[in-house]
A = this chain, B = another copy of it.
């Protein structure tokens, strides 16, 4: 490609609404152009990156035995009503009406449609397993779209769906996909982790997220540097404390803590470790009648150590708390006789169900609210001041330094950007949509499913968050818009420069290298700034002075300076840099 025939459009400044570096650089490098909130044009430079991402995904999906198809963007509501998602999903699901007033949705994913396809086509276990995927435009009407392609409304996703005859086969299909994902992310050339994720109501361990590591990532990733354990924050287990609970050593004492409504403030006031304070979180669950009206409410009190954070997914797994909500102020006052800030398990107005984090259950001489404004209680002990806790569970987020669940040392935490997810679905959709096949025993059975997504347009953003510097983007070779850029200096004045650039350009093209020749006659400074911003990994400068000595200049985007290369061996030199076979 010659730059003059391409569409290059760089900006000096990023727009004000670009908050994260990937968004800023994608706008400045002319990869995307905003059309509306969370809706972007993929400009020619950006589309080249997206197409390379797609190509790698497609190759590895095909290699893993998945077959490509395309499902519609606009889908009839009927199928979504069969699974209940048409009503259950929030306003992220863009619902539309056609000219006849019939309901449709713009696909955010396609479980319903693929299940509909398969229930028509799969008659017998002999036709299984099957894995079908698409790379297609999706839409999620995010309340607050932001960060460019990181959290857009319209985006491209690869979604694959596996269909199997039984759980065992489905789990094998899942493992095939998980392995394909590792190959895909290896090929992208990014630093990533496959982390165990929560698999919701289905249970089991068959859910993994693929997280691109970046300090700016929205997700916290928990891993063990001493092993291959890795999980997202929702999933990572906090082990029970290894040491026995100490004996009570303090008397229970009501203590004035005026205006100190947080554990941190109380710990500071009383000069005690934050780890000995206990925070009280009040939840509620409702029993509904047939019309969905709450007819009975149960209030729960969660106790967590003052230095720990509640993990909503773990709390949701406590028996009875699947559909919990936070209690209202009137509910809290009714049961505790006090406003939040000074709550605790002692001196209740009305009984509540107590759920205690493992760490709190192991505490002695702890501090909690007195259920009286501006007062806390110190020296509280289980079995003495209140009964031994009955319902003890892991309710908290792990913190760095916690023991790894695999016993291989302490956990560490880093940030990541989720760009892929593999998930064992079981029969959730096949049961809802009555998608059956005849098993070997001649009886109808529900299809066992898995689903597997990759955020095609999010991936370039994640790659940039991980790989950039003050000058711009630094692409890995695999997904760079161009792998090599040739920058002739003043080719209009120096025919030998033009000739050398044209020759190398032709040779690289013939070798199958994705090269762009900058023939725009820009000044060197502006030209270099453009390509550093755009992030093409390999740059060759062809200047008159060096050329007179038979030399070109090579600079990798990560190199601080350029190095001289013999013009006569430049082709082989570049092939070596790109990992291509060099003719001997």
B-binding residues in A (CB < 8 A): 5-7, 9, 33, 35-36, 39-44, 46-47, 50, 65, 67-76, 91-92, 94, 96, 98-99, 104, 106, 113, 116-117, 120-121, 130, 132, 136-137, 139, 141, 143, 153-154
Contact = CB atoms under 8 A, between A and B. Distances in A.
Given A39-B75, A73-B73, A106-B106, 6 more contacts: A7-B69, A7-B121, A36-B75, A44-B68, A73-B106, A94-B96
Contacts of A71: 35, 41-42
Nearest to A97: B96
Contacts of A72: 35-36, 39-41, 154
Contacts of A92: 99
Main secondary structure of the interface of A (DSSP, over half): mixed
A216 to B, nearest CB: 25
Copies per assembly:
2
B65 A41 contact: no
30 contacts: A6-B67, A7-B69, A7-B130, A33-B117, A33-B120, A35-B75, A35-B113, A35-B116, A36-B72, A36-B76, A39-B72, A39-B76, A41-B113, A41-B117, A42-B70, A42-B71, A44-B67, A44-B132, A47-B68, A73-B73, A73-B106, A74-B94, A74-B139, A74-B154, A94-B98, A96-B96, A98-B141, A99-B143, A136-B137, A137-B137
A8 to B, nearest CB: 10
Given A35-B116, A139-B74, A69 B41 contact: yes
A76 B117 contact: no
Contacts of A74: 39, 94, 106, 139, 153-154
B96 A91 contact: no
A179 to B, nearest CB: 17
Contacts of A76: 35-36, 39
A36 to B, nearest CB: 4
Contacts of A104: 36
Contacts of A99: 91-92, 94, 141, 143
A58 to B, nearest CB: 10
A149 to B, nearest CB: 12
A5 B98 CA distance: 38
Contacts of A67: 5-7, 44
A154 B105 CA distance: 13
Contacts of A136: 137
A85 to B, nearest CB: 16
A41 B115 CA distance: 12
A68 B35 CA distance: 17
A34 to B, nearest CB: 10
Contacts of A6: 67
Contacts of A46: 69
Nearest to A137: B73
A7 B139 contact: no
A78 to B, nearest CB: 8
A231 to B, nearest CB: 33
Top-10 shortest CB links A-B: A91-B99, A36-B76, A42-B70, A96-B96, A44-B67, A99-B141, A7-B67, A39-B72, A44-B69, A9-B121
A212 B352 CA distance: 76
A39 to B, nearest CB: 5
A67 B481 CA distance: 13
